[in-house]
Each structure stands twice: as C-alpha cells, then as structure tokens.
Chain A
Amino acid sequence: MKQRLVVIGNGMAGMRTVEELLSAAPDKYHITVFGSEPYGNYNRIMLSSVLCGEKTIEDIVINNRQWYLDQGITLHAGEAKTATHIDRKNKIVAAQDGTMAGYDRLLIATGSNAVIAQIPGNDLEGVISFRDIFDVNKMLSYSRSHKKAVVLGGGLLGLEAANGLVLRGMDVTVIHNNEVLLNRQMDKPAAKMLQTELERRGLKFNMAAKLQRLVGDELNHITGVCFDDGSQLDCDLFIMAIGVRPNMALAQQAGIYCERGIVVNDTLQSYDPSIYAVGECIQHRGDTFGLVAPLFEQAKVCANHLSAHGAAEYITLPTATKLKVTGINLFSVGDFHGDEQSESIFFTDPASGIYKKLVIKANKLVGAVLYGDTADGSWYQQLLENKESIATIRAELIFGKAYVRDFNV
C-alpha cells in the first residue's frame, strides 16, 4: 500500500521535490498536489523572459497536466483549489472549494508573496506586483494600451520587469530607494555600469527617491506618483518589486511553528514531523530564500528524506545572483563588500563593459562581483564554497580559471 504525500504549492520548489522524489522512490507515494494557479508547473524565474518576449508561456512550462497524469499525480489546480486548511490531527488538507486530501506526509511549498509598499494609493487599479503568469499577462495587456510605467524597486525582479516593459514599448522609470541598483547583489561600480547599460536601453531611473503616495483618477486608476520632495511622475502602471515575504499563513493557521518563515531543520522538516516545507516559505537557520539555487538544493534534501533514504542535510551556501536581461551579464556571490579584515582585487575595463571585484579574507575567496564577464562566476562560487586557499593563484585569480595554470578546481 502506497503512502500518501500531499504537496501544497505547485511551484518550482514543491515540484522539484516531487521530481527528485519520483526519481529516488517512484513507487513510494501516491501524490496529490494543490496549486492556486490553473496550470501545470512552470519556471517562475523565466517570467521576465516571457514579459520581454524572448519566450512564450509554453516555453517555460516545466510539466504540463499530461505529465501529472503520466506520473499518477492528482493535481488540484486553480484559484478554487487553493489550500485553505490543514487538519494536522486527522492529517487532511482542505481547499477553498472543499476538495480534501488525506496525507501521511505533507509538503508545504507555498512560496512567497510580494511585499506591498505601505503608502497611500497602493490599492489603486494598475498597481500590481510581478509574481506569476497572471501578473505578466496584466503587464502585457497594459503595455498594449498604455504608455507610462513606474517600477518600484531596483532589485533583480524590478529591473527585469522594467526591462521587459521597455521592450514592450513602454516608457519606464525605476524608482529605487538607494543610490546603488541591485544593492544587495552589486557594489557601486558594477551597479553604475549596469545602470548606464540599462539607460542605454531606454530605462529611466529615479535613484534614492522617497515615494510619498500614489495618485489615482476618479475611476480609482493610478495616474502618477508623488515624491517626498513634491515632485511628481505620471504613470499608467505601477509595479511593486520591493521584495518578497514567505507565504506562511496556512502553516501559521495550522499551528506550525513559524518565525519569519516556516521554521525547518536541516532535513527540511517542520516542527510537525509529518510536515516538510521547502522553498521561499521556509526559514532555515535564520535564513529565508528568494533565489532558485537553494530551493533546488532543498528539494534534493527533502526528497532524500521523503524517500526514506534519510541521509542528506541541507546547508545554506552562498548563492550567486544573475540578472535575466539578455546581453547583461552580472554575477555576485558571498561577501562582496568586504570589511576591514578583507582585501579586494579589482579588474575594470569600462570600454569593454567589464568590472570584476574579488574579496579575499585570510587567503580565501569570500565574495565576488562580476559585471560584463561572468564566465568564471561558478568557478569563484566553487572556490568560495570549497574554502580553498587561493594564495598561490592570487595573481591570476581575477583573470579566470582558464588562466590559472596548474590549478585544478
């Protein structure tokens, strides 16, 4: 008799766990998946590629509904199938429309929600976030009928949204509360180069700006934004891209221990031994997650335990950043700002659009920012994870792996 696994969340983390599980223990579970979007499973981080027209929705589908059928997975997808209740005592999950599924093991992969700026007017029509296919479709429809867009947040998502909207013909201004774009992923010089490149592509920037409120018309539709200094900017579309927050409401409601996210141990198990959680909804050793690489690693570890192999432990490694804007290569990993104990190595070739910075501490690589030439990003990440001494290759390090002779990593 197969055990029952219920997965709440049909996103990248949950489904990668299922895929890993199917390959590790194909016959162990009967799997039921609840998803609030009415599709199979798609690559959310490629949404910006869809927005800018490089890919279609079909291109980014990972598993279509047929796949679920083929794998014998019961898929409950659509808004009405949003899971609304976990009955931990009876081990049953209930959806909005009353659909229920009993479990022996439950996997929560509810992801995250966009942070909504707490400013007047944030509920106006035309104010959206950039999280799913629904948002992308809305942005595409606006781009066909409207001219001006404002993106709040010069982070990865905000810049990808802004770039997509520019490519779709809109006049886009990015408002960022810092002088440095991608300030969590880039240092100032790299960010400056990025900004210059994006400006060349038609993006406008309003840096270190303080937003006061959003202004709407009589139809409650956004018409512009007001800044603290009294200046204004017209817009028809306003994208919130100032970060995400773990979506843990359901878990909290079920009494599962949460802090900033659903707290899990190194095996991705929550405080309820039957319930696992992966992805952006979790908190592991104090960290929450927003990038894809750790999610996949979590999926691997979680599947290892769900399949009762039970040996893997999840360790959070420094995560590298990439911006999905065609023709712009940037990469960062680790502590690329450095501190008093660290040493920095720079390579700059502005005319070639290249900037590199490596941060060294006690002869070990602890951080890297690459702009323009990111070919060695994964090698630096490897060096950083392996914590190997780079003393003997320091002179060539910034020029890349191909250049470091007689050094095998």
Chain B
Amino acid sequence: MSKTIQTTCPYCGVGCGISAKVGQSLHQLEISGDVTHPANFGRLCSKGSALGETVELKGRLLEPTVYGQHGSWTEALDLVANSFSRIIEKYGADAVAIYGSGQLLTEDYYVANKLMKGFIGSGNMDTNSRLCMSSSVAGHKRAFGSDTVPGCYDDFEQAEMIVLIGSNAAWCHPVSFQRIRAAKEVNPALKLVVIDPRRTASCDIADLHLPLASGTDANLFNGLLQYLSKHQALDLAYIDAHTEGFADALKAAAIDLEQVAAVCGLNKDDIQRFYDWFANHKKIVSLYSQGINQSSSGTDKVNAIINCHLATGSIGKPGCGPFSLTGQPNAMGGREVGGLSHQLAAHMDFSSTDDIERVARFWNTQNIARKPGYPAVDLFDAIYDGKVKAVWIMGTNPVVSLPNANKVKLALKNCEFVVVSDCIKDTDTTALAHVLLPAQGWSEKDGTVTNSERRISRQRALFDGSGNAKPDWWIISQVARRMGFEQEFSYQSPVEIFREHARLSGFENNGTRDFDISAFADITEQDYQGLQPTQWPVNQANPQGRSRMFEDGKFFTVSGKAQFIAITPCLPVHSPDQHYPLILNTGRLRDQWHTMTRTAIAAKLNQHKAEPFVELHPVDAERYGLLANTLAGIESPWGSMIARVQLTDSQQQGSIFVPMHWTEQYASHGRMGALVNPIVDPISKQPESKHTPVRIKVYQPVYQSFILSRRELNMTMPDYWVKIKGQQHYRYELAGMSLPENWQDWAKNKLCDSQGETVQWQEYQDAAGGHYRAARFVNNQLESVIFIATKTELPERSWLTSLFAKTALEQGQRRVLLTGKPPVGVADVGTIVCACFNVGAKTIQTAIKSHGLKTHQQVGLCLKAGTNCGSCIPEIKALL
C-alpha cells in the first residue's frame, strides 16, 4: 500500500512542491512535481526528479560518533554540552559558534539561533547563506529598511521584460527558468535580457545578452539610472512620494553610455538597446543571483539594480520589481529566524537596542547577545586564530564551499572542538569533526521552508528516521537542555517551535517589521500538518498571505520611504596581473547541487558533467598550450585545483569558469574553494567567489586511466582521481605522475582483484603504443574494466558504461570490449566454412544465389573459399 505525501524539494530556492509516492518497501520512492504547488505547478528539474535515487542508506551517518568511535546519543550530547559550557566558562561566550545552513528547516534554524544568540549569549551564529545572498539581504535592508523580496513568481508571466543578472537560472533555478520560457512562448513580446560575463544556457531564449566584464554590473546599472533620467523615463511622482536620496544616487551615477561601454567591455548599441527597453517598458522584473551577490561590492550592485526600479516606480506592482533568486531551499527561512550573525531574530537585528530588548523579553533571557557575531569568513579566521575554540557545523560543508578553503580546513584541524551534524557520513568537513551527530535528512525531517518568493511550504517526513538519526531541532534542544536551558528548549515537536517563531514575528510588531506570520501563532498540530504553501506576511491584515509587498509605497525605513543608495562602483579587489592573469569564475551545474553529498548519489545526475572541468576560451587555451579534454592545473595565491579542459567561446577571453561542486570525496583536486580569494563585501560580508585572479597551465600526467567497476573500489588512489557513481557501476578517472613498474599488477591492485576462481580477465596491451586495458568478468557479466594510456587519449566511456546494465555480454561485445567502442554492424557471415579465407556458410549461400554459381571452383573464384587448403570443398559442394 503506497501513500502520496506533499513535500518540498531540498535543492534550490525555487522551492518546488513535490508529490512523493512512498512505496511499501524500505525507501521506495516515486517523485513527481506537485501540480497544486504555486512555485512549480507540477514541474521539476533533473535534480528534483532524481530525489528518489538519493534516499538510500548507503553513506548515511546513522550513529553518533565521538572521537572516531561509535557513541550513544547521551554520550555525544553530554560531550557537546559539556565542552561548549567549559569553553564558554573559560573563554567567554564568543569562543563558541554555530555555523548553519540554508538546508536547515526553519524550526531547526530557529532553535539553533535561539540557543546561540538568546542563551549562550554570542552573536556567533552564521550560516552558509552568507555565501549566497547576504548581499541581497544587505541591499534590501538599505533600500527598504527590511529584508524583503517585493515580488512573486506570478510577476514572470505578467512582466513585459525580464532581466536576468548574474544568474544562470536555466541551470540553477531551472523550474523558474522554464516558467519564463513558457511565459515567453505565450507572450512572444516578453523580452528577456541576460547580463552575464558568460554566455550560459539561460541565453538560449534571450533577446539580448550583455557579456559584461566581470564585476562591472554597478556601472551598467548606474548608467541605466543616468539614461532613464536623461530620457525622461523616470517616475518622478513615485520618486517624490515614496523615496529618498534620488539626487545623490543620480549624481553618483554620472556615467554616460560611452563610459559604460568602455568599463563593461560591451557594445554601445547593445547597451543602448537594453537601456531603451528598460526605459520603454513599465513592467520589468530584474532577477539576480550569485553573479551580483558574490562580490566585494555585492551590496552596492543590489542597490544599483533596486535604484533603477525605484526610479521608475516599477516595484510593488504586478510584473515588476527587483527579485533575488535564492540558492537554497531555506535561505529565506534562515533569514527569517535571524540565522546570519548580524541578525537577531524575526527580521530584527543588533543595530537596534529596542530589538535586542524585545527579543530578550520574548525569550525571557538575561543572556542575550548584544552585538553581531562573526560572519562566515571571519568566523573561520577566528577559529584559525584560536579565538573561537568550539564550533558546531550543521548540514554544510565549509571545507569545500568557503573561500580560501585550505585555510578553513587547517582552522578546523587545529580547532579544539568541532561538532558536525549531518545526514551524510563522509564529507570533507565530517572528516575533521570530533563529534558527529546523525541528523535526519530530506525525506525524514519535518518542518517548514521558505522559497525565493516568501512562500512558506512544508517539508514533510516521508519515512521514519533511519538508524539513530534525529531531527536537528531535537539535537540542538537536547544540547541546550544539558547546558542548563531546560525550560526554554523543552520542545516536543516542530509545530511548537513554529508557533513560537510565529509569535515572535508578531511580537510588538504592529506593522513595523515586514516579517510577520503571527496568524500562525496558535496554529493547531492538524493545521500545521496540512499547511498549504503560503507567502508571508500572514497576519491579521493578510490572513491568506500576500503576493506582493510595497504595493502602497510604504517601506520599513524610519521615514517609511525607500532609500536610493548613491553607488560608486568598485571593481573586484584583486585584479589579474602578470602572475595570475586570468579571472576565475565559479558556479553551479545543471545536475549537481552544492557539495554533491546528495546529488552525486543519483547516478543519472552524474552523466551531464562527470568530472571537475574548467571552461575557457579557445584563444586562451592556445595561449596557455591547453588542449581540449586534457588536464589543467589552476592556481591562485590561495590554492590550486586540477580540472579537465573544456573549450568554449561562451567564455570570455581572460576569464575561466569552474564548477563549485566537487569535494575530496569525489575528486582529488576538484575543490574550487581552495582557490577563491577570501575577499568579502564590507557591508554584507559575502565573499567575492566570482572573481579570483588565477593562472592555468598544462597538467601533464605520464598516464591517464579510467576504471569502470560494478563494485565500489577501495583502492589506493593515484595523483589525480575522480570518482563518479554511474548506473550499476562506479567510474574512476585517474592520472599519475609516475609510471608503475607493471601495468598488470597495477590494474589488479586497483581493481582489488581477489583472484577469485570465478573471475575472468581479458587484457589488451600495446606497450610501445602506450596502452594497457583489461576487463574483469564474473560469469560473462562485466565486472570491471580498466583503460590506461600513456600517449594517446582514452576512448569514450559511454558504450562501456552501458554494458553494466547487462547480465551477460554477447560474444561480439566481449571481443571488442577493450576498444571501448561498440561492435560495428558486421553482417552475419554464418558458420565459418573456409577457415583459410574466413568465408562463412551464409556468405557462400548468398554468393551462390546472387551469382548463380554452379561449381566449387566458381565459388573459389568469387569468394576465394576453398582455394587454399581445399579442406572445405566438400562443405562448399554440399552448399551447392
């Protein structure tokens, strides 16, 4: 008996609804889009669709681990609580920290934040959302007085023009992009402009692509503001009634079209076109993402965009507005609870003493933190410097994702006490933990998340928790109780936390704060279970939620008016120089998510891009002597990586792109975080992950190899390796800087060959040609193959990987297996009659018929059959 449960996707911030058909047997799951969910109306992207493949127990963290040993929950929780208490007592509250994640549910997040800021009394609760949208938070806050996303997804359909800025939504927010695509099909007049240094998949349907120079977005939007002003495209009434600071902003934006073209490296006509379109359309949505946020001037870029919307009054109306696309399923929920270190709770922060007192009152605590804690990059620096001595990392992988990631690794290595809560056992970060706490993952945990359009949706449990895994809120509450806060953390279920969170949002609010879900303050357990996706605010004034904000032109600033921010554009901090002449850009791929802990489990998601790669322009490749599909070493002053070269003119000269996903679990040298400069925006503290000067050079291994194996192999890895889970096999891409003495031994060692009786080996060797290849069979089923080449390229893997689906190989497949290519369409010659000339019965019969052959001599003249040793003449005669 199966049941269908509505839940929410755990990947990007689109927040798609999922209809999960849960089967009878363990972890049997059929995923489809929830047609009733307003974020996706039934659509899902490749990642969401593959969720059913990711719920296996293999690789899960299912038991608490204490200093490498299995421990009980009691032991682990006691140790965490005692260690934190001891360190706080000795060094003060600021010597401990929590580093959370946009993967945490709102309820989990709330409890963690409450513990750190309300009761431990330190601001040191930050989250990986710092890497993702803190510039948007800061930009919103400056312009609106609140961290508010004004619009909603419906605006995509109502817009006359959509501007995608620093966003490859086609890959990173695929369902939203599909929605734009569909809107454009219905309304071909809808214009799509893509502003991105790269020509991405999102340019596919764009009417205009502006491949601007990296980091020059604020110049472009300053230029737009100036242009709007010059061409009487301003909404002066709106500016006058609802905003402040326009004159200063316009003055700071004193840049003409020629200058914009020069700075941004764009064609003047293209800029003109974009500006004209912006000036001549009323309904414009500006969707922006990491290309804007991850910058040393990300907050300014956000405000440069918002300025243009304020100046044209295109905000708070259908089809209008600046719109930040969030990257995580609950980045927004994290902001709502105050998960960033400068925030306090419920869209209140440390900048207001009133807020601090209010929250202290609400939480009934004497110990509330009174100043911001360390933001992510500073936090790990503080750990490195020994100022923070205990850190609890929840559901995130900073050793991979933070800039200057090698320093992060070192910081954790030397940290006195590292706790990691995760649902996955082996990550680059869990490897450095003293205590591992098994958290329930998606499909087990239960609570709420908020998507990019302020929509709160339920993420529901589909299965019981596996092993000893527990919900994050439970784990945090247990530690809190052990630290002496029994009363304040006595939660028994997520709904209790949700109610408290809702109450706090409405606490002494009276319309002063945008985030208000006080209508949920007394939500029943039943209503919480059945909660339908709802956009906040949800309060007395908006009992059913609200699609758009600022419709009345009122903002949450002191004056109630939106603020223009005078922007003086800054270029990225580190410019390329003679030593590091290229700009490294980083970003997401279509089929992977974050550090691949979940997506890499789904074989089908590993097909799109199997290996860490670097995209660069063919001219740059020529310049640095790089060939397509070879390996390149990329170095910055902070670290290095190795990636497979992919040539594309969608990349600008002088700029290269690497995906952000690979970790040491799947690749030896794929951690791009190691290279990224630890530069942050001075306001938002968001790192400049899109712009690091690097150099690139040929990585020339003496051999390259790949292994495809039905079993996961426990081998000693060579210098370079990538591990890829495929359909019924694992794939290993290998390369080394020194030749082994004997390839056969090497191969057997790598394939963990136990010399079992049933194992059969097939080998191909061309030592002078630099080839060794072998296949391993069990009962004619392909068990593994290894291909090694020292001189030439290795063959494609696709046909070989397809063979793992077969229970047995056909003889023809087995014979040509080690070519790596499928057998060609050879005509069936039949049983060989003439062995000398390899002529088969069917060939002879065909020739007899078609040429009217009468004698074996005629057969011989025609086919040579029987003309050598003649032993087959009787058989030929028989055929005649």
Residues of B within 8 A of A360 (CB): 768
Whether A345 contacts B815 by the Cβ 8 Å rule is no
Q: Would you call B871 and A399 a contact (CB within 8 A)? A: no
B788-821 interface with A by 8 A CB criterion = 792, 811, 814-816, 818-819, 821
B470 partner residues in chain A, CB cutoff 8 A: none
Give bound CA distance, A398 to B765, whole Å.
10
* Contact call A45/B765, Cβ cutoff below 8 A: no
Let me know if A347 and B764 touch, CB within 8 A: yes
Measured CB to CB, the nearest residue on chain A to B772 is A346
Q: Which residues of chain B are within 8 angstroms of A402 by Cβ–Cβ distance?
A: 823-824, 826
Known: A45-B869, A329-B835, A376-B838. A394 touches B769 (CB 8 A): yes
A322 lies within 8 A of B869 (CB): yes
Chain A, interface residues (CB within 8 Å), range:
35 or more
Residues in A with CB closer than 8 Å to B760 are 349-352
- Over the window 264-293 of chain A, the binary record of Cβ atoms lying under 8 Å from chain B Cβ atoms (1 yes, 0 no) is 000000000000000000000000000011
Please, how many angstroms separate the alpha-carbon atoms of A296 and B765 in the complex? 36
Q: How far is the CB of A86 from chain B (nearest CB, A)?
A: 30
CA separation between A52 and B818, bound complex, in Å? 37
Q: Is A199 an interface position by the 8 A CB rule?
A: no
Partner of A399 from the list B767, B819, B837 (CB cut-off 8 Å) is B819
Determine whether A74 belongs to the interface, using a CB cutoff of 8 Å to chain B. Answer: no
B580 partner residues in chain A, CB cutoff 8 A = none
Q: Is B870 an interface residue (CB 8 A)?
A: yes
Q: B816 to A399, Cβ gap below 8 A?
A: yes
Number of interface residues of B (CB under 8 A): 33
Cβ of A62 under 8 Å from chain B: yes
Name the residue in B762, B815, B819 with the highest tally of chain A Cβ atoms < 10 Å from its Cβ: B815
Question: Is the CB–CB distance between B871 and A45 below 8 Å?
Answer: yes
B835 contacts A343, C-beta separation under 8 Å: no
Tell me whether A97 is interfacial, beta carbon within 8 Å: no
Q: CB-nearest residue of chain A relative to B764?
A: A347
Q: Is A43 an interface residue (CB 8 A)?
A: yes
Chain A residues closer than 8 Å to B769, beta-carbon distance: 343, 345, 394-395
A248–B538 CA distance with the chains assembled, in angstroms: 114
Q: Which residues of B759-791 are within 8 A (CB) of A?
A: 760-769, 771, 777
Against B, the Cβ 8 Å flags (1 = close, 0 = not) of A369-409 are 00001111111000000000000001110111011010000
Q: Is the CB of A378 within 8 A of B837?
A: yes
A11-45 to B contact mask, C-beta < 8 Å, 1/0: 00000000000000000000000000000000101
The answer to whether B625 has its CB under 8 Å from any CB of chain A is no
B187 to chain A, nearest CB (A): 50
Measured in the bound complex, the distance between the Cα atoms of B824 and A400 in whole Å is 11
B68 at the interface (CB under 8 A from A): no
User: B857 — nearest CB in chain A belongs to which residue?
Assistant: A23
Q: Contacting B763 at CB < 8 Å: which of A292, A348, A378?
A: A348
Residue of B nearest to A355 (CB): B763
Q: How far is B818's CA from A402's CA once the two chains are assembled, in angstroms?
A: 15
Complex contact B838–A378 (CB within 8 A) = yes
Q: Which residue of B lies closest to A12 (CB)?
A: B870
Q: Within the assembled complex, what's the spacing in Å between the Cα atoms of A378 and B761?
A: 27
Q: How far is the CA of A55 from the CA of B762 in the complex (A)?
A: 36
Among A55, A394, A400, A405, which residue has its beta carbon within 8 angstroms of that of B766? A394
Closest chain A residue, CB of each to CB of B870: A43
CB distance from A137 to the nearest CB of B (A): 20
For A348, the chain B residues whose CB sits under 8 A away are 761-763
* Distance of A378 Cα from B836 Cα, bound (Å): 7
Closest CB in chain A relative to B873 CB, distance in Å: 9
Whether A375 touches B871, Cβ cut-off 8 Å, given contacts A345-B769, A350-B760, is no
- In the complex, which residues of chain B have a beta carbon less than 8 angstroms from the beta carbon of A346? 763-766
Of the listed residues B771, B824, B836, the one surrounded by the most CB atoms of chain A closer than 10 A to its CB is: B836
Tell me if A349 and B838 are in contact (CB < 8 A).
Answer: no
- For window 726-755 of B, CB contacts with A under 8 Å fall at none
B836 and A403 contacting across the interface, CB-CB below 8 Å? no
State in angstroms the CA–CA spacing of A238 and B762 once bound together.
Answer: 40
Report the separation of the CA atoms of residues A328 and B209 in the bound assembly, to the nearest whole angstrom: 68
CA distance A329 to B765 in the complex (A): 22
State A408–B203 Cα separation when bound (angstroms). 45
CB of A84 closer than 8 Å to a CB of B: no
- On chain A, the residues within 8 Å of B818 by CB distance are 347, 399
Instruction: Kindly state whether residue B868 has any CB partner on chain A within 8 Å.
Output: yes
Interface readout for A325-358 with B: 1 if CB under 8 Å, 0 if not?
0000100000000000001111111111010000
Interface residues of B in 544-584 (CB under 8 A from A): none
Give chain B interface residues in 833-862, CB to chain A under 8 Å.
835-838
Which residues of A lie under 8 Å from residue B771 when comparing CB positions? 395
B213 within 8 A of A: no
* Interface status of B832 (Cβ within 8 A of chain A): yes
The smallest C-beta distance from B254 to any residue of chain A, in angstroms, reads 64
Question: In the assembled complex, which residues on chain A have CB atoms less than 8 Å from the CB atom of B823?
Answer: 402-403
- Cβ–Cβ < 8 Å partners of A351 in chain B: 760-762, 777
In the complex, chain A residues whose CB is within 8 Å of the CB of B871: 43, 45-46, 49, 324
B836→A349 contact, CB < 8 A:
no
| Chain A residues, Cβ within 8 Å of B766 | 343-346, 394-395, 398
Q: Tell me whether B815 and A373 are in contact (CB under 8 A).
A: yes
Given the known interface contacts A352-B814, A375-B832, A376-B838, the answer about A62 and B763 at a Cβ–Cβ threshold of 8 Å is: no
| Interface status of B543 (Cβ within 8 A of chain A) | no
Q: Is B682 an interface residue (CB 8 A)?
A: no
State whether A59 touches B874 (Cβ < 8 A): yes
Q: How far is the CA of A351 from the CA of B777 in the complex (A)?
A: 9
Residue interface mask B187-218, A partner, CB < 8 A = 1: 00000000000000000000000000000000
A296–B824 touching, CB < 8 Å: no
Task: Tell me which residues across on chain A come within 8 A of B816, comparing CB atoms.
Answer: 399, 403
In the complex, chain A residues whose CB is within 8 Å of the CB of B824: 402-403, 405
> Is there contact, CB below 8 Å, between B767 and A344?
yes
Q: A322-B835, A343-B769, A375-B838 are in contact. Are A350 and B761 (CB under 8 A)?
A: yes
Q: How far is the CA of A57 from the CA of B838 in the complex (A)?
A: 25
Residues of chain A within 8 A (CB-CB) of B826 are: 402
Interchain CA distance A322-B834 in the complex, whole Å:
12
Choose among B763, B777, B870 the residue that contacts A347 (Cβ–Cβ < 8 A).
B763
A292 and B868 within 8 A (CB): yes
Closest to A296 in B: B868
* A322 with B836: CB separation less than 8 A: yes
Beta-carbon contact of B819 and A292 below 8 Å? no
- Decide if B869 touches A292 in the complex (CB within 8 Å): yes
Q: Which residues of A contact B821 (CB under 8 A)?
A: 403
B769, B777, B814, B818: residue with the most chain A Cβ atoms closer than 10 Å: B769
- Residues of chain B within 8 A (CB-CB) of A376 are 838
Q: In the complex the two chains form, what is the Cα distance from A292 to B767 in whole Å?
A: 35
Residues of the B chain whose Cβ atoms lie less than 8 Å from the Cβ of A46: 871
How long is the Cα–Cα vector from A9 to B757 in the complex, in angstroms? 55
Closest to A405 in B: B824
Cα(A379)–Cα(B824), bound, Å: 17
Contact A403 B868 (CB under 8 A): no
By the criterion CB–CB under 8 Å, are A403 and B835 in contact? Answer: no
Task: Using CB atoms, name the residue of chain A closest to B822.
Answer: A403
Q: Which of B767, B777, B836 contacts A343 (CB 8 A)?
A: B767
* Chain B proximity mask over A305-330: 1 for CB below 8 Å, otherwise 0: 00000000000000010101000010
Q: How far is the CA of A402 from the CA of B825 in the complex (A)?
A: 9
B321: min CB distance to chain A, Å: 58
Bits for A48-79, please: 1 = Cβ < 8 Å to B, else 0: 01000001000100100000000000000000
**Nearest chain A CB to B577 CB, angstrom units:** 44
Closest beta carbon of chain A to B655's beta carbon, Å: 37
User: Is there contact, CB below 8 Å, between A374 and B764?
Assistant: no
Selected A-B contacts with CB under 8 Å, 7 pairs: A62-B870, A344-B766, A346-B763, A347-B818, A350-B760, A395-B766, A403-B819
In the A-B complex, the 3 residue pairs with the smallest Cβ-Cβ separation, listed nearest first, are A343-B768, A351-B760, A349-B762
- Which B residues are closer than 8 A to A by beta carbons? 760-769, 771, 777, 792, 811, 814-816, 818-819, 821, 823-824, 826, 832, 835-838, 868-871, 874
Q: Known contacts A378-B837, A403-B824; can you find 12 more A-B pairs with CB under 8 A?
A: A49-B871, A296-B868, A324-B871, A343-B766, A348-B761, A349-B763, A349-B815, A350-B761, A352-B815, A376-B838, A394-B766, A395-B792
